[in-house]
Amino acid sequence: METFAEHYESMQQALRKFMPGADMAQIEEAVRYADEKHKNQKRKDGSPYIIHPLAVAEIVAEMGLDTDAVLGALLHDCIEDTDASHGEIAKKFGETVADLVEGVTKLTRVEYSTLEDEQMENLRKMFIAMSKDIRVVLIKIADRLHNTRTMQYQTPAKQISKCMETMDIYAPLAHRLGMQKIKWELEDTSLRYLQPQSYEEIMTYLNEHEAEAEAFMQSIQNTISGRLSSVNIHGTIYGRIKHVYSIFRKMQTQGKKIDEMYDLYAFRVIVDTIPDCYNVLGHIHDLFNLVPGRFKDYISTPKPNMYQSLHTTVIGSQGIPFEVQIRTWEMHQIAEYGVAAHWKYKQGGVGSGEEKNFEWVRRLLESQQDTDAEDYVHSLKIDMFNDEVFVFTPRGNVINLPAGSTPIDFAYAIHSGVGNSMVGAKINNRIANFDTVLHNGDIIEVLTSKNAKGPSRDWLNICKSNQARTKIKQWFKKEKRDENILHGKASFEGEMKRLSFSPSLLQDETLLPVLLQKLSFANLDDMYAAIGYGGLTATKAIGRIRDELLKATRGIQNPTQGGGGSPLKTNPDSEAVRRNRHAVGGVIVEDIDSCMIKFSRCCTPVPGDPIVGFITKGYGVSIHRADCPNAQNREDPKQAARWVRVRWDYDEEKPFNTTLELNCITRDGLLLDIATVMTASKVKVKELSGKDLPDGRSAFTVTFEVKNLAELDVIRNKLLNIRDVTGIRRGQN
């Protein structure tokens, strides 16, 4: 078991090495304070809780931040997990430290996996908070890094959920902040729990071939070192095998096994000056054969996360390709620690609000305006986390955009006025369509006109960046209100009719104020306008008022005798009325009116399966197959009240997603045979994937739509008749 003394000494060593000017007296006081506050708490492994804050503080120290950041790391769980308050921490350690701790506490409460609006708004606030003081997110990344290092003490379910969140949010965020060293560790550790078989396969191969890899890297290092010494260039050269997740991704994208991969090695040459970088590049190309199309100059065109380096891929006499990265020492520090190194080099360890100068943070702040929370978070994964494409203006200025961007994205990246007056575009001096995908190095010229009618609504489906989408919506919001109202009204009423609600409900003077209050609009025209310019979708609007519409519809169908209307002739207790009252999404929930229904992904039930329902917090009723492992604790007294009786509404015929997992003997053409059977069965396939296993076995997973269990059985029998398919089972996560 880890001890307090070990972690305390390790933190002090990091402080002495990376932060020699740190205020040790204040740090020691924070250690005593945190230890006292957490004294009755334990980690999952049984060790004292204080070990975690010490480890996080050590990581923050390695980033080379300042004393306040280290204090924030030591105290980061105090407000959330103890009786400590913002005021108490501010009194002892200063307002800045208290704000950092409170900021990290807010991030801790964010859950990315849900689509609920409130939690989406929390995530939005997290990124906005980051723009105010980047140290908040740096502490949170350090917190997540230590948690991944101790992931073995979590339950399997917790390991998977936390690692998925790490891959979705924290690793891409570390990349965006330029913190490659931390990003790699987050990715590799997460892969170990998300894809244990693939992880072990790669690690086993690397361990078995470690000796020959070391010999190859030493040979290349000696060759480069000898050349640089002969021309009096002072440099440090070292080689490494690419990290496990990088190898895994290449195996996936190229469809290769680990023993078929050659591009596994990377070398770094670190020199004193930028001219030396380009001199070294010339010598590398003289020593080895260049692989065409694999040279990138991130020194003259830095990445948005401040990364600078020369990249080239070459092949030596052994016929093995390898990458060489050439950079200065300052570039190397920024490549390893990103914004943390920038903090150290450019700000002298004092927060001055310079974070807002980062282009991507500025875009993030702009794009939150007039954007629905769920759309905003989706856009983050496009704008903030995806790869970039670097293109040029006719004057040679570099514009970076999300990969897959079009001339529309480029125009709005220049200025909203340029985008709004755009009538055409040239790419590399040739007229191009608005939906043409841009590539690195393209020179873009936007053709504008004073008589332009403004953007088209189709542009919202063409552009890739949230920045462009937001500016287009703002134009429609400002310039086309009457048109927006017409479009929004038609869309909203069309969605009502699709869901069997009468638009005449909106004329009810009692109901309408309730609906508008739930939707946060003053009147219907404002709501229609928002739908018309794209700030809100009709589907989402009706989702927020669905319960009220259902109640109103039932009130019309079943008026009381004293209400002045004609009573329904049908017996209210008849099976038909019960079905109308309870059927949602093809399922009837006993004793609960108009609740949300969610079909669990762990067992993907379809009509005909025995099913049970579980009342979840915020999601309504989750439907499971009765034999689902997650439904086996129905007798647990703590959960018994949340399990409810449900049954299929067989009068409602609709498709349901389900998953089959196939065990097979490996052979060529097997995936094609499976796809052929699914096509011949005339079902909609959502996903089809496979992987090879040891001992000549393969596993395939197919997710598709069926209407009932009988149709599923027919398809399962067809798949079993395929040669070398040895078994099939329903998917259960």
Which residues does the annotation mark as catalytic? Answer: 80-81
Angle at CA of residue 626, ends 620 and 628, nearest 5°: 85
**CB under 8 Å, gap of 24 or more: what pairs does 378-381 form?**
379/465, 379/466, 379/469, 380/127, 380/466, 381/168, 381/172
Reduce the DSSP state of residue 702 to 3 states and report it: strand
CA distance linking residue 717 with residue 602, whole number of Å: 22
Tokens representing 600 are 């669990």
Contact 730, 628 (CB under 8 A): no
SS3 362: helix
The whole-angstrom separation of Cα 665 and Cα 723 is 9
With 0-12 CB in 10 A as exposed, 13-18 as middle and 19+ as buried, what is 208? Answer: exposed
Residue type, 614: F
Q: How far is CA 33 from CA 30, 78, 142, in A?
A: 5, 9, 20
Structure tokens at 234: 């002072």
Long-range contacts of 593-597 (CB under 8 A, 24+ apart): 593/550, 594/546, 594/547, 594/550, 594/551, 595/620, 595/621, 596/620, 596/621, 597/621, 597/623
**Cα end-to-end span (Å), the chain:** 32
Q: How does DSSP assign 308-350, residue by residue?
A: --EEEEEE-TTS-EEEEEEEEHHHHHHHHHTHHHHHHHHHTT-
Distance CA 67, CA 61 (A): 9
Amino acid at 128: I
Assigned token pair, 477:
């919001």
Find out whether 335 and 280 touch, Cβ atoms under 8 Å: no
| Rounded-to-10 torsion of CA 726, 727, 728, 732 | -130
Give me the residue label for tokens 């080099």: 345
Rounded Cα distance between 132 and 129, Å, is: 5
Write down the residue that tokens 């401040």 correspond to: 306
H-run or E-run covering 614: strand 611-616
Separation between Cα atoms, residue 388 and residue 178, nearest integer Å: 14
């089972």: which residue's tokens? 729
Name which of 331, 326, 329 is nearest 311 in CA terms. 326
Calculated CA dihedral for residues 563, 565, 571, 575, nearest 10 degrees: -90
Longest dimension (CA), the chain: 103
CA–CA gap between residue 241 and residue 407 (Å, rounded): 38
**Which residues lie below 8 Å from residue 285, measured CB to CB, with a gap of 6+?**
312, 314
Q: Are 174 and 142 in contact (CB under 8 A)?
A: no
Residue 121 token pair: 């708004």
Cα gap 123→107, rounded to integer Å: 8
Strands (DSSP E) contained in 363-402 are: 388-392, 398-402
